[in-house]
Structure 1
Amino acid sequence: MPAKHENKPVDKHEMKKMCHDHMHRYVLVQTHDGWCCDGIVEHLDDECVCIAVPYCGHMDRAFFPHGGFFPYPPIYPYPFYPRRRFIRQVFPLGSLLGLSVLPFY
């Protein structure tokens, strides 16, 4: 008969040590309410951990229209708005259930 694995709550000090051990690594965190988030551990203090989550938002960019006043399409989009590669997500240490390291390719 296979052994049952139970999700035991992790205390805040143990979770802080786990986050500190995996600082600047790509991890998966899970909260007590079942929400999962993957990202890079960026900042840690006594109450919360900040994770940089990859952002894959929509790519709305405005281009000059072809023809008319501009005979050729522009080389770069205008107006140029730099894309954000990551967004910050803050988790209280007391709400985290687990943390696991993921491979980053």
Structure 2
Amino acid sequence: MKDNKDKMYHLCKDHLHSYVMAETNDGYSFDGIITGLDDEYVYFAVPIEQANTPERTPASVNELRQYGYGYGGYPGYGSPFYGYGHPPRRFRRFILPLAALTAISLLPWY
């Protein structure tokens, strides 16, 4: 077990700040950017799905307002279009124990 953890540590260290596909020992796979690494954990930035994709459409006007759209679909108060607020987040942080990783493969950026 320790050999696999050491192997994953060096593999993650070689691919630090790279876009990778990672697979865990329970068969789960995901893509993301390796942002950090320590003796026990590897830290990823994992893309968040877009809010208006077919899988997830806004449920209400209130949900649209959080993205800066006010009444009637026009940009509203707190909109990034007028210099207020922040753009929606594109990545979330994901922390995974090194012992849970089984494979890392480098992915192209495009």
Q: Same fold (TM over 0.5)?
A: yes
User: Is the helix fraction higher in 1 or 2?
Assistant: 2
Which sits farther off after the overlay, 34-43 or 76-85?
76-85
Partners of 2:12 and 2:97 in 1: CA distance:
12
- Alpha-carbon distance change, 56 to 77 in structure 1, aligned in 2, over 3 angstroms: farther
- Aligned letter for 2:64? R
Q: Is the 8 A contact 1:31 1:97 kept in 2?
A: yes
Unaligned runs of 5+ in 1: 1-9, 67-72
Partners of 1:104 and 1:24 in 2: CA distance:
12
Deviations 1:57-76 (A, max 9, x none): 4254223335xxxxxx75x3
Partners of 2:71 and 2:35 in 1: CA distance:
41
Q: How does 1:1-105 map to 2 (within 5 A)?
A: 11-58=4-51, 60-62=63-65, 63-66=69-72, 74=74, 76-80=75-79, 81-105=86-110
Q: What's the CA shift for 1:103?
A: 0.7
Partners of 1:30 and 1:89 in 2: CA distance:
13
Runs of 4+ in 1 over 3 A off after TM superposition: none
Q: Which has the larger radius of gyration?
A: 1
Unaligned runs of 5+ in 2: 53-62, 80-85
Q: Is the 8 A contact 2:64 2:70 kept in 1?
A: no
Aligned residues: 90
Q: Normalising by the residue count of structure 2, what TM-score does the alignment of the two structures yield?
A: 0.71
Q: Percent identity?
A: 39
Q: Is the 8 A contact 1:12 1:93 kept in 2?
A: yes
Q: Normalising by the residue count of structure 1, what TM-score does the alignment of the two structures yield?
A: 0.75
How well do the aligned residues superpose, as a CA RMSD in angstroms?
A: 2.1
Q: What's the CA shift for 1:14?
A: 1.0
